[in-house]
Amino acid sequence: MMTPEQKINELRKELNSHNYKYYVENAPVISDYEFDKMLRELIELEELHPHLKDANSPSMRVGSDLTNAFRSVEHRFPMLSLSNTYSSEELGEWVTKIEQEVEQTEFVCELKFDGTAISLTYENGRLLRAVTRGDGTRGDEVTENVRTIRSVPLVLQGDDYPDYFEIRGEIFMPYSSFDRLNSEREQQGEQLFANPRNAAAGTLKQQQSQVVAKRGLDCTLYQIAGEQLPFSSHSESLDAARRWGFKVSQHTKVCRTRAEIEEFIKYWDTERHSLPFPTDGIVIKVNRFADRRKLGTTAKAPKWAVAYKFKAEQALTKLLKVTYQVGRTGAITPVANLEPVLLAGTTVKRATLHNADQIAALDLREGDMVYVEKGGEIIPKITGVELGERDAASQPLQYITHCPECGAELVRYEGEAKHYCPNQSHCRPQIVGRIIHFIRRKAMNIESLGEETVELLLEHNLIENIADLYDLRAEQLAPLPRLGDKSARNIISSIDSSREVPFHRVLFALGIRFVGETTAKYLAAHFGNMERLMQASHEELLEAEEVGAKIADSIIEYFADEQNRSIIERLVRAGLKFEAEAKVLSSQALEGMNIVISGSFAQHSRDELKAMIEAHGGKNQAAVAANTTYLLAGEKIGPAKLQKANKLGIRIISEQEFLTMIEGAEPLNTEPLATAEAVAEPTPAPEPPKAEPTTPIQGTLF
Ligand code: IVH
């Protein structure tokens, strides 16, 4: 009979190995179902034996909802960049220079991944830390987020890895993840990522690792850094990294001549379009470390490596017409309709124009011959006009002033590049879009309804808005085309179940402009119920986590609308949840105390601190008053608050003092709090490396 510890270790080993087979080798040997079963077993055992929990357990890949701190960390070895070349001639000059300094050298050609650089540190075969490139000298620690990337090994294979080393590579977003993410964002009315590189970098800096876990990032490694590494060449080090379980690109080649390098470049310049991830060039590196040492580095980049950047593919075609799309939130997107042209393997008929400013900057006119590019971006864009071919009689393009769908006059909000149709209640795409958003899985989860059925219900005048859904009866739905009794009953039953959806998701489902999933969570935690949110002033809204002036304005505008208020009233009557779940008291350590929070904090967000105060029986006060017990002060505390507290003789406490106050508090019960954030433990700072960091010297990089 195995002890729980043995069983946990066995499960971790098996899961790590299956994870490797799936995400690094792309050759799974068990089904997702079996994998999930094993993972669930591990999670259950770890819950039962919390002292056996481990930051590098495969169970940690799902991430958490704790707020990341991203402390700044100095790189032990600076992260240099690469010098670029853009033409065969420039590349030839570089090769010649190398050949003059080192004879019979070897080069390794690799793909240049288009993502964001990362440095991973391993100690005794376990992931210790992950740091972004930053300015090359210091970067941000993003370990929790990187742990969720399935192709990054948490524990290494074999036994011949150095005790302590860094390995560097690129975190990137495959096209499939990028497309999924952007289409989700589009449905939510959130701003789209322009390209997978921005999406990867943005995701890596997400506050919650559980969000990162869902975004499908990937990581490839291409350089080992450490002291006294047991290799004499780059290709040897890549082979070792592969053995230890890292994902290292197979698309590398040792080349001995300029002609071989050129051949590699030529091949990948077209073949890269069939890769499932973005690349923007080829990196050519001197293979032998002895040669590298001889060549040395400049302050910015090594002399032994160079990047050859692919040219963005371009085509010249005619701009036939500019049309305009109206999104769910009323955002207007101009679209260039083009004479079809072949570009990077696909026929392009349309290109996005983003907004009115971009059209003005290009001085675009219908009938112009325009350059279309497919750079890192998936959606082609117009980069310029061939003025030489412009028709003398052509006129500057007039941006529309009224909605192409409903005719309402468009508005432009301050700081927003896009125009909006303000006619939320009567503009068809907005009506449809809002209902579709409302029924989404992440919102009210009435997906059995589906987009087509929503269209059908609108056509048959059975619904006009989200509140109408709750008045629907099965006998109204059954006779509709493609429905019938069973579907009708299913739909009604999932509408019924949606009454149980928690407040923060209802809030998200309403589709208030700029209120995404996370903001809705913060708002629900901060205000507790709909009534308080609806009555909140601009200033009060700003006090909630992540709410800035733009979001506050949008919330106020939403609730000022009579029709929105009447929809909410009907939803209240329909029995939807408009109150956050009551929090469980975890101690009475702060009973009778009034605590004001001001400034920003290192370990917890303000809402977390607020939840902690309430969970321990205290009251969170908005402003310093005579009856304030403590002013909990963080960094950049408001000077007025500080002055007032000093005047009234109120004690000012730091975050740490506050945490100490509640740390030893007698627990009232062992139930978890309603909001996970409320019990968030500070993320433990990673152990410093055992070996004293040495001054970086060029030679230690290889
Ligand atoms: S080697 C000292 N290899 O390109 C040289 N970099 O423009 C270290 N990159 O910061 C980099 N693919 O983020 C190297 N196969 C590859 C790469 C690569 C992408 C990125 C990396 C670097 C940037 C420089």
* DSSP per-residue letters across 428-460: HHHHHHHHHHHHSTTTT--TTTHHHHHHHHHHT
Question: Hey, is 588 helix, strand or coil?
Answer: coil
Homologous superfamily assigned to 594-678 = BRCT domain (3.40.50.10190)
Strand partners, 324: 334
CB distance 112 to 281 below 8 Å: yes
Question: Hey, is 274 helix, strand or coil?
Answer: helix
Q: How far apart are CA 323 and CA 366, in angstroms?
A: 11
Residue 269 alpha carbon to ligand 1 centre in Å: 18
CB distance 386 to 395 below 8 Å: no
Residues of the chain below pLDDT 50 = 669-702
What tokens appear for 237 in the block?
């080090």
Ligand 1 atom index nearest CA of 80: 2
| Ligand 1 pocket member 255 (CB < 6 A) | no
Question: What residues contact residue 532 under an 8 Å CB cut-off, 6+ apart?
Answer: none
| Ligand 1 pocket member 113 (CB < 6 A) | yes
Q: What is the pLDDT of residue 218?
A: 98
Length of the chain: 702
The one-character DSSP state at 204 is: H
Q: What is the pLDDT of residue 314?
A: 86
Catalytic residue IDs = 112
Q: Helix 428-439 and helix 450-459: axis angle, to 10°?
A: 130
The one-character DSSP state at 676 is: G
Q: Across the chain, how many H-helices and E-strands are there?
A: 24, 20
| Ligand 1 pocket member 307 (CB < 6 A) | yes
Residue 198 alpha carbon to ligand 1 centre in Å: 16
Half-sphere exposure of 534 (CA within 13 A, CB side): 15
- The pick from 170, 284, 292, 698 for probing ligand 1's pocket by mutation, whose C-beta has the most ligand atoms within 8 angstroms, reads 170
Q: How far apart are CA 234 and CA 479, in angstroms?
A: 69
Tell me the CATH class for 503-573.
Answer: mainly alpha
In this structure, are strands 116-123 and 126-132 parallel, antiparallel, or unpaired? antiparallel
- The pick from 77, 81, 82 for probing ligand 1's pocket by mutation, whose C-beta has the most ligand atoms within 8 angstroms, reads 82
Homologous superfamily assigned to 4-62 = Helix hairpin bin (1.10.287.610)
633, 630, 638: which is closest to 654 by C-alpha?
A: 633
Comparing 428-500 with 503-573, is the CATH topology the same?
Answer: yes
Q: What is the CATH number of domain 313-389?
A: 2.40.50.140
Q: What is the pLDDT of residue 672?
A: 31
What tokens appear for 59 in the block?
């169970």
Cα–Cα distances in angstroms (integers) from residue 691 to residues 91, 156, 163, 167, 470, in the given order:
40, 20, 10, 17, 64
Q: What is the pLDDT of residue 536?
A: 96
Q: How far apart are CA 361 and CA 377, in angstroms?
A: 19
Homologous superfamily assigned to 72-309 = DNA ligase/mRNA capping enzyme (3.30.470.30)
Q: How far apart are CA 495 and CA 499, in angstroms?
A: 7
What tokens appear for 553 in the block?
């304005």
Residue 112 alpha carbon to ligand 1 centre in Å: 6
Residue 81 alpha carbon to ligand 1 centre in Å: 7
235, 287, 281, 233: which is closest to 256 by C-alpha?
A: 287
603, 601, 611: which is closest to 632 by C-alpha?
A: 601
State the pTM of this model.
0.59
Fold of 428-500: DNA polymerase; domain 1 (1.10.150)
Domain spans, the chain: 4-62, 72-309, 313-389, 428-500, 503-573, 594-678
**Residue ID of nearest Cα to ligand 1 atom 15:** 112
Q: What backbone phi and psi angles, to 5 degrees, belong to 119?
A: -120, 120
**Residue ID of nearest Cα to ligand 1 atom 7:** 82
Q: What backbone phi and psi angles, to 5 degrees, belong to 396?
A: -55, 145
Q: What is the pLDDT of residue 376?
A: 57
| Ligand 1 pocket member 109 (CB < 6 A) | no
